[in-house]
Chains A and B, each alone.
Chain A
Amino acid sequence: MKIDFILNNQSQTIDVHPARRLLDLLREDFGLTSVKEGCGEGECGACVVLMDGKAVNSCLVPAGNIIGKSIVTLESFKKTERYKMIESCFLEAGSVQCGFCTPGIVIATESLLTENPNPTDEEIKEGLSGNLCRCTGYNMIFKGIHLAAERGNGLW
């Protein structure tokens, strides 16, 4: 099926099977390896990308559902001021250990703060409930997001 979509702000036209997973398209066809495969069934959040500005599990999105959509991965999001704020706050709070979950966590953070620039502790937990991390125990991640929300006044 012919698929027209926008990837990291560039128009793309590809011809692929419509059941192909967005996750595989991004990693295999476009070499965007910030997108990780963890569970492959929407539970871990390692493959989370932005679709029209909202976090989605790319392992659950068939290619047929990205027609006309704008997909953003960390490769382009990292050029933004908002990313730089998240990065410095994550560094300060020790939010990253092995790093495998981090791209998904950063994208989920962007999606959360876009919708709710001043989240409470509970809202941060809820917003990140689809992202698993086996290293940090989460507290440092929540702290990093808190810092980003506090200091990111006006960015979101």
Chain B
Amino acid sequence: MVDGFRPATLQEALDIRSKHDCLPIAGSTDLMVQKARGFALKPDFGKPLLFIGHLPELHKISIEKDQIHIGAGVLLTDLLNSDIIPAIFKEAVCLMASPPSRNLASIGGNICNASPAGDTLPYLYAVDAQLVLKSARGERTVSVDRFITGPKQTDLAKNELLTDIIIPNKQFDVNYYRKVGQRKGMSLTKAAFQGMADIDNGMVADIRITFGSVAPTIVRSRDIEKSLIGIFAADIEDKVSEILERYTPLVRPIDDARSSAVYRKKVSLRLLEDFLRKISKEK
């Protein structure tokens, strides 16, 4: 068996992907840990590796037609150093792992790893990020909530690679992000909350609410969001308990080594409450 492939171009990578059963690997910060076998042993991946992290085609960040295109291989450090990436997204990225890991890890890897606790995901779900999936035959675009089908599961076909992430080039009027972890630095997420809204003439014109790490995938309800549009921001205050009640059944965390279901649920709903009260104070 071949140990691995290191193509020079994206096209070459797609050709290899169409001919071989192989595992795409970029920054490798998640995969090397998942497949680790202990001190001084090489991780066992069970199939040849397809190295794609170095491909220049996957490292661009650009604005096209009012949308931000982010190459799947863009490093977390590069997201933080970019003038184009929205500040509210950077808030989540700068709390991921530590600088030496952010110098390796890619945004595409965080998406394809599809962890319920993936820290780029609450934002990407909230803005309906579109993912470009390429194969030797062509390409398709899917939204992130359709791409991730379950914990650690995606819709990526065996001949495809995630090449670009497309997000709107837009700042919301109200921006709120909180990650709850064991400590400030180098922490894995117990619960994450992302809230964003636009207020127009005192009324809610757009609102996005997502929860991370409290269900098999990121939680978002378009129905509840839609029902809040058109309400005067000041009136949100009176609706807090009603809105919390509607989200209660959707937030369904588990007990694990990192936290308890009871704590995760309580803190998630309290963060939602805090966000709603922040909106109600907007003019």
The interface of chain A, by Cβ under 8 A from chain B, is: 1, 17-21, 24, 27-28, 37, 40-43, 45, 48, 51, 54-57, 59-62, 64-65, 67-68, 108, 111-112, 125-127, 129-131
Contact = CB atoms under 8 A, between A and B. Distances in A.
A130 B99 CA distance: 7
Interface string B17-59: 0000000010111001101101111111100010101100000
B130 interface: no
B82 interface: no
Interface of B: 3-4, 6, 25, 27-29, 32-33, 35-36, 38-45, 49, 51, 53-54, 77, 94, 97-101, 103-104, 184-186
A40 B54 contact: no
Contacts, number: 115
B3 A19 contact: yes
B51 A55 contact: no
Contact of B42 (A17, A42, A55, A68): A17
Given A60-B33, A67-B6, 6 more contacts: A1-B6, A19-B4, A20-B42, A41-B36, A60-B28, A111-B99
Contacts of B41: 24
Of the candidates A41, A60, A125, the one having the most CB atoms from chain B within 10 angstroms of its own CB is A60
10 contacts: A18-B51, A19-B3, A19-B42, A57-B104, A59-B32, A60-B27, A64-B6, A64-B49, A130-B185, A130-B186
B3 A18 contact: yes
Of the candidates B33, B45, B53, B184, the one having the most CB atoms from chain A within 10 angstroms of its own CB is B33
B33 A21 contact: no
A42 B4 contact: no
B103 A56 contact: yes
A108 B100 contact: yes
Nearest to A20: B42
A108 B6 contact: no
Nearest to A28: B40
B38 A57 contact: no
Contact of A130 (B4, B35, B39, B101): B101
Nearest to A52: B103
B36 A40 contact: yes
> Which 7 pairs across A and B sit closest by C-beta, in order of nearness?
A130-B98, A129-B185, A18-B4, A55-B100, A41-B33, A54-B103, A20-B42
A24 B98 contact: no
B100 A48 contact: yes
Contacts of B53: 65
